[in-house]
Amino acid sequence: MTTNNLFSEKTIDPDPFIQFKKWYDEQLSFNIAIPNSVSLATATKDGRASVRTVLLKDYNEKGFVFFTNYKSRKGSQLLSNPRAALLFYWPESARQIRIEGMTDLLSLDYSVSYFKTRPRENQVSAWASEQSSVIPGKDHLENRYLSFKKKFSEKEVLKPDFWGGFCLTPEWFEFWQEGKFRLHDRLTYFKRNGLWFIERLAP
């Protein structure tokens, strides 16, 4: 499923969000299992880094959206150090996209609106999982799930106060495409005075 499209300073779009959409839409056309998976890197205030896979739920010219438990490791790190990075790696097209920037909490209305679209079982699990905390065993988690399932059995599952969305606003992009003899194409965008500029990096 690889692509042979030429990629250069002449073909890249001057707007990184439009360029992202071009590559992302092509990735979606491959019909892979989870096309919106992305690695999210965060760090504590003193620079202890961690990375995990999350799901991209939306994107536009303002940034890239994902959801989590605010008390989770990533949530607590983002609340104390809002700088973060995303990595989309797509072996199907021999491409990857790196994005670095600042994160902000999404509005309550936005998070509530998205929470309502989740399957009911996922809504219940958001309440049940004390994400990133140490638990005594799987039974503990399953019992919490059953408890909250019963609690909400005859009513709407409301969004927990400790759960919601973040938006990463990019300051820098890198679009990477595999080349012959490891002469890969690496084109980056950086922002200065509100304008995007493009540079090429050695592979």
Give residue 5's pLDDT.
Answer: 61
Give residue 44's pLDDT.
Answer: 96
Supply the residues annotated as catalytic.
Answer: 182
The predicted model gives 78-101 an average pLDDT of 97
Q: Measured between alpha carbons, how far is 89 from 164 in angstroms, rounded to an integer?
A: 25
DSSP letter for 159, please.
P
Pair type for strands 83-90 and 95-105: antiparallel
Give residue 6's pLDDT.
Answer: 84
Q: Measured between alpha carbons, how far is 65 from 77 in angstroms, rounded to an integer?
A: 16
| pLDDT tens digit sequence for 33-87 | 898 999 999 999 999 999 999 999 999 999 999 999 999 999 999 999 999 999 9
- Let me know: does 180 contact 92? Beta carbons within 8 Å: no
| Encoded tokens for 142 | 């399953």
In the block, residue with structure tokens 């609340």: 79
- Let me know: does 177 contact 95? Beta carbons within 8 Å: yes
| pLDDT tens digit sequence for 124-172 | 999 999 999 999 999 999 999 999 999 999 999 999 999 999 999 999 9
The full set of domain ranges for the chain reads: 16-117+162-200
b (16+ CB within 10 A) / e for 3-40? beeebeeeebeeebbebbeebbebbeeeeeeebbebeb
Give residue 116's pLDDT.
Answer: 97
In this prediction the pTM is 0.92
Give residue 31's pLDDT.
Answer: 87
DSSP letter for 32, please.
-
Pair type for strands 163-177 and 63-69: antiparallel
CATH number of this structure's domain 16-117+162-200: 2.30.110.10
**Would you say residue 4 has pLDDT above 70?**
no
